[in-house]
């Protein structure tokens, strides 16, 4: 006989589940007469071992070139039958399931049910006739991971990956790792000291034999794809040898420059040579060349004169580090929405209107006021403090439409810590509503409200302005409808959380998307919250959206687990049922390129699909005007044959039961 298709059709009774409404012997009979079907059989339970044996035996005995199992939904047993076929020597991608249970026997009655079962099965036979044997795509990969952002989330991810036995490059753009958590005083809901729980993790990361810490560094470019990313990192010169620096601080004392300290949110000053905070990791000074009086030519060189250990080296140059990594974790964190954006609250020009991070610094023992609550303008202890929640959040007309999620909690913490600090002080909190969804969070807020006698006022603040040495707050208590005016000494704005500066630029370098508000976008809002759309890139922490520390840590660990799954597999495998370009037909028009949500298509003289990145959605196939883009094992020709047969046209007319 010729080389035409020899399809085997196996119809399942599923006990009574199919056989009650579908005349199974008739289906077998009809399919046996269908062109290209070499063998048709039925079984009580096709998925049982004896049922599978029927399939396996027929594959061998009848030299089948394809198999259709007419049974339950493919979500149940597609894998079962594909594996069985493979054991019998038939390529698994030549096996398809015709769903005659969920889509037929369970929902219809009467002879039409059998008719429909025949149509579904025949259509599937047509598909299998056009299927080709496929092999899973396999490629090797690098076994290193890049983590961008050294906040708590990135530190956690780096530690987990390194503990699992893989090399990590931890890239942090500021002189120290630690992120925002290093700036916090005490943390809700337990009020443990932020530095005390963070510092051990920072040190662990810096000492880990498999973590290479690249601070004062940024990602310059990324090329490649899942498993095989090539990254270039630019490390700025610090002009201080971290191995020699002993943190004596003599250099900073002689440096004539004073600029606002980033770490203290501008509430204190630092020299041009500085260490952001005493526990910084790496523990070394950094010479900030932007603010230095001049290095080329040297204009001052006071620091090097006093450095007794010779740690200062003005000849240090920028380094470029190139590495191949298998996976990337992005943990670039957040900034606060600028106070200058808040016209209604004085545009950031009133010194005693501060944001949450400034207040954290004021509350910190190592901060500009040594932990005593004193206001910035005149250093007085404020007796009346107004905290304004949702400042810039949940305000689609003027500011950000989203909820920043953590401000309810840290405002309760701020008010409570203020009361612990200033016993005769009064704290007011303006809020829209309280969102304290977290373990022991509600209890924490209730404690602040009740035990600490903090005045919670439900309502919005219309205006904040300076009046002599007071800051006047006009608001409305929406519960009583009363207008409220407080002549406060200090106002703390719970500013919206926004993605850290440069997030979009970084996303562009990696060809991944940011959502409308600029936070890094996940592959699926429910099912793939840790992954970027581009395979092999994972998201962690506040870079992905407002988050508190426990969530940032959990997501860091989650992203690490995802990255480890890549690093740990001997090779990367991927379903071969993907799109491919027929180079003879492709005109290079690139219409397909923007269709792909995964950036799997590279334009050129002819388009190219990266089969490791393609998820097989087929959107590009439907868009190609030249018919050049094809879906493997689901070509247009196959689907058209399915349509024709489903509708009972040729090759065999379907009798109505």
Partner 1 sequence: MAEAPFEPKIVAFLCRWCAGAGADLAGTSRIAYPSNAVPIRVNCSGRVEPEWVMEAFRSGADGVLIGGCHPGDCHYVSGNYKTRRRVYLLRKVLAEMGIEPERVRLEWVSATEGAKYARVMKEFVAELKKLGPLSLERKEKEPTAAPVLPRVGS
Q: Applying CB under 6 A, which residues contact ligand SF4?
A: 578-579, 581, 586-592, 595-596, 598, 600-601, 607, 609, 614-620, 624, 626, 628-629
Q: Which is nearer to partner 1, 491 or 510 (CB)?
A: 510
Tell me how far, at minimum, the Cβ of 564 lies from ligand SF4, in Å.
25
The H or E element that residue 202 is part of is helix 194-207
Does the bond joining 409 to the residue before it have cis omega, within 30 degrees of 0?
no
Q: Residue 123's binding partner, choosing from ligand SF4, partner 1, ligand FAD, none, with beta-carbon cut-off 5 to 8 A by kind?
A: partner 1
Q: Which is nearer to partner 1, 398 or 622 (CB)?
A: 622
Binding segment toward partner 1, per CB under 8 A, in 63-71, 149-157, 181-189, 593-601: 593-601
Residues 526-565 that bind partner 1 (CB under 8 A): 526-527, 533
Q: Which is nearer to ligand FAD, 18 or 328 (CB)?
A: 328
Q: Residue 154's binding partner, choosing from ligand FAD, ligand SF4, partner 1, none, with beta-carbon cut-off 5 to 8 A by kind?
A: ligand FAD
Q: How far is residue 394 CA from its own chain's centroid?
A: 23
Q: Residue 636's binding partner, choosing from ligand FAD, partner 1, ligand SF4, none, with beta-carbon cut-off 5 to 8 A by kind?
A: partner 1
Tell me how far, at minimum, the Cβ of 630 lies from partner 1, in Å.
11
Does the bond joining 189 to the residue before it have cis omega, within 30 degrees of 0?
yes
Q: Residue 282's binding partner, choosing from ligand SF4, ligand FAD, partner 1, none, with beta-carbon cut-off 5 to 8 A by kind?
A: none
Tell me how far, at minimum, the Cβ of 619 lies from partner 1, in Å.
4
Q: What is the phi/psi pair of residue 493, to 5°?
A: -95, 125
Q: Which is nearer to ligand FAD, 174 or 634 (CB)?
A: 174
Cα distances from 161 to residues 186, 296, 568, in angstroms, run: 28, 41, 10
Phi-psi sector, 492: left (phi>0), alpha (psi -120 to 50), beta: beta
Q: Which is nearer to ligand FAD, 211 or 552 (CB)?
A: 552
Under the criterion CB under 8 A, does residue 390 sit at the interface with partner 1?
Answer: no
Does the bond joining 297 to the residue before it have cis omega, within 30 degrees of 0?
yes
Tell me how far, at minimum, the Cβ of 643 lies from partner 1, in Å.
5
Q: Which is nearer to ligand FAD, 120 or 532 (CB)?
A: 532
Q: Which is nearer to ligand FAD, 69 or 181 (CB)?
A: 181
CA–CA gap between residue 583 and residue 301 (Å, rounded): 63
Q: Which is nearer to ligand SF4, 67 or 581 (CB)?
A: 581
Beta bridge partners of 464: 473
Residue from the set 73, 349, 569, 587 that interacts with partner 1 by CB under 8 A: 73
Tell me how far, at minimum, the Cβ of 638 lies from ligand SF4, in Å.
15
Q: Which is nearer to ligand SF4, 497 or 631 (CB)?
A: 631
Q: For Cα atoms 342, 344, 346, give the angle at the middle one, nearest 5 degrees.
A: 70
Under the criterion CB under 8 A, does residue 646 sit at the interface with partner 1?
Answer: yes
Beta-sheet pairing, 167-171 with 211-214: parallel
Question: Which residues of this chain interact with ligand FAD, rule CB under 6 A?
Answer: 148-154, 171-174, 179-181, 184, 187-188, 218, 331-334, 336, 356-357, 360, 406, 410, 413, 500, 502, 506, 541-542, 547-550, 552
Q: Which is nearer to partner 1, 80 or 185 (CB)?
A: 80
Q: What is the phi/psi pair of residue 543, to 5°?
A: -65, -25
Cβ proximity of 206 and 281 under 8 Å: yes
Q: Residue 120's binding partner, choosing from ligand SF4, partner 1, ligand FAD, none, with beta-carbon cut-off 5 to 8 A by kind?
A: partner 1
Terminal CA-CA length for the chain: 34
Tell me how far, at minimum, the Cβ of 650 lies from ligand SF4, in Å.
31
Q: What is the phi/psi pair of residue 218, to 5°?
A: -140, 155
Tell me how far, at minimum, the Cβ of 85 lies from partner 1, in Å.
19
Tell me how far, at minimum, the Cβ of 527 lies from partner 1, in Å.
8
CA–CA gap between residue 494 and residue 255 (Å, rounded): 35
Residue whose pair of structure tokens reads 């500021």 in the numeric block: 174
Is 238 exposed, middle or buried, given 0-12, 13-18 or 19+ CB atoms closer than 10 A? buried
CA–CA gap between residue 419 and residue 452 (Å, rounded): 7
Token pair listed for 639: 């689907």
The neighbour count for residue 190, using CB atoms within 10 Å, is 9
The H or E element that residue 287 is part of is strand 286-287
Q: Which is nearer to partner 1, 476 or 617 (CB)?
A: 617
Burial readout 605-625 (b: 16 or more C-beta within 10 A, e: otherwise): eebebbbbbbbbbbebbeebe
Beta-sheet pairing, 601-602 with 608-609: antiparallel
Token pair listed for 78: 């597609």
Cβ proximity of 606 and 586 under 8 Å: yes
Tell me how far, at minimum, the Cβ of 7 lies from partner 1, in Å.
18
Binding segment toward partner 1, per CB under 8 A, in 295-303, 312-320, 390-398, 629-637: 629-637
Task: Name the packing angle between helices 407-421 and 356-363 (round to 10°).
Answer: 30
With CA atoms as reference, report the closest residue to 401 among 496, 509, 522, 264: 496
Binding segment toward partner 1, per CB under 8 A, in 28-36, 402-410, 439-447, 589-597: 589-597
Q: Which is nearer to partner 1, 104 or 155 (CB)?
A: 104
Residues 309-368 that bind partner 1 (CB under 8 A): none
CA–CA gap between residue 206 and residue 30 (Å, rounded): 71
What letter does residue 240 receive in the DSSP assignment? B
Residue from the set 30, 104, 170, 328 that interacts with partner 1 by CB under 8 A: 104
Residue whose pair of structure tokens reads 């562009």 in the numeric block: 508
Q: What character string, x for contact with partner 1 (CB under 8 A) and - otherwise, covers 489-528? A: ----------------------------------xxxxx-
- Site residues (CB under 8 A) for partner 1? 73-75, 99, 101-104, 106-109, 112-113, 115-116, 119-120, 123, 523-527, 533, 591-592, 594-595, 597, 615-619, 621-625, 631, 634, 636, 639-640, 642-644, 646-649
């Amino acid at each position: 006989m010729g080389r035409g298709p020899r399809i085997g059709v196996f119809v399942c009774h599923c006990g009574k589940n199919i056989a009650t409404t579908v005349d199974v012997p008739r289906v077998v009979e009809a399919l046996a007469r269908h062109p290209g079907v070499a063998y048709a059989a039925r079984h009580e339970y096709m998925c049982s071992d004896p049922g599978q044996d029927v399939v396996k035996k027929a594959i061998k005995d009848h030299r089948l070139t394809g198999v259709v199992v007419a049974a339950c939904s493919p979500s149940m047993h597609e894998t079962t039958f594909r594996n069985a076929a493979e054991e019998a020597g038939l390529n698994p991608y030549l096996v398809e399931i015709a769903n005659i249970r969920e889509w037929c026997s369970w929902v219809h009655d009467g002879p039409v049910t059998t008719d429909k079962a025949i149509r579904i099965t025949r259509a599937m036979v047509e598909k299998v006739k056009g299927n080709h044997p496929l092999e899973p795509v396999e490629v090797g990969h690098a076994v290193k991971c890049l983590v961008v952002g050294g906040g708590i989330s990135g530190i956690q991810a780096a530690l987990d990956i390194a503990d699992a036995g893989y090399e990590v490059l931890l890239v942090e753009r500021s002189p120290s790792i630690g992120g925002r958590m290093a700036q916090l005083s005490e943390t809700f809901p337990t009020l443990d000291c932020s530095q005390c729980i963070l510092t051990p993790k920072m040190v662990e990361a810096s000492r880990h034999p498999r973590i290479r810490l690249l601070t004062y560094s940024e990602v310059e470019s990324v090329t490649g794809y899942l498993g095989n990313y090539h990254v270039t990192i630019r490390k700025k010169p610090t002009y201080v040898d971290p191995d020699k620096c002993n943190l004596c601080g003599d250099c900073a004392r002689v440096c004539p420059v004073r600029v606002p300290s980033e770490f203290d949110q501008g509430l204190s000053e630092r020299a041009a040579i500085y260490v952001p905070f005493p526990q910084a990791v790496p523990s070394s000074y950094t010479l900030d060349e932007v603010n230095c009086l001049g290095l080329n030519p040297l204009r001052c060189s006071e620091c090097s004169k006093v450095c007794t250990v010779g740690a200062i080296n003005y000849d240090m140059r920028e380094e470029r580090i190139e590495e191949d990594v298998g996976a990337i974790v992005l943990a670039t964190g957040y900034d606060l929405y600028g106070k200058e954006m808040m016209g209604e609250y004085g545009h950031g020009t009133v010194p005693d209107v501060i944001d949450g991070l400034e207040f954290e610094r004021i509350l910190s023992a190592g901060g500009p006021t040594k932990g005593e609550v004193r206001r910035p303008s005149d250093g007085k202890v404020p007796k009346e403090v107004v905290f304004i929640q949702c400042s810039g959040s949940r305000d689609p007309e003027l500011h950000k439409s989203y909820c920043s999620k953590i401000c309810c909690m840290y405002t309760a913490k701020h008010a409570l810590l203020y009361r612990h600090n200033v016993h005769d002080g009064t704290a007011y909190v303006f809020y829209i509503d309280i969102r304290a969804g977290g373990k022991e969070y509600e209890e924490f807020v209730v404690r602040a409200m009740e035990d600490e006698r903090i005045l919670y006022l439900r309502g919005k603040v219309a205006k904040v302005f300076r009046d002599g040495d007071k800051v006047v707050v006009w608001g409305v208590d929406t519960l009583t409808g009363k207008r409220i005016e407080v002549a406060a000494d200090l106002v703390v704005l719970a500013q919206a959380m926004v993605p850290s500066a440069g997030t979009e630029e970084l996303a562009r370098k990696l060809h991944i998307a940011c959502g409308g508000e600029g936070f890094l976008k996940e592959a699926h809002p429910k099912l793939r919250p840790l992954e970027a759309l581009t395979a092999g890139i994972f998201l962690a922490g506040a870079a992905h959206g407002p988050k508190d520390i426990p969530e940032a840590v959990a997501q860091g660990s989650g992203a690490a687990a995802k990255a480890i799954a890549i690093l740990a597999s001997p090779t990367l495998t991927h379903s071969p049922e993907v799109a491919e370009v027929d180079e003879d037909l492709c005109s290079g028009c690139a219409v397909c390129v923007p269709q792909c949500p995964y950036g799997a298509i590279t334009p050129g003289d002819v388009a190219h699909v990266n089969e490791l990145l393609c998820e097989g959605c087929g959107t590009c196939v439907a868009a190609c005007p030249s018919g050049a883009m094809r879906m493997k094992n689901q070509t247009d020709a196959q689907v058209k044959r399915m349509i024709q047969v489903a509708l009972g046209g040729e090759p065999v007319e379907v009798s109505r039961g």
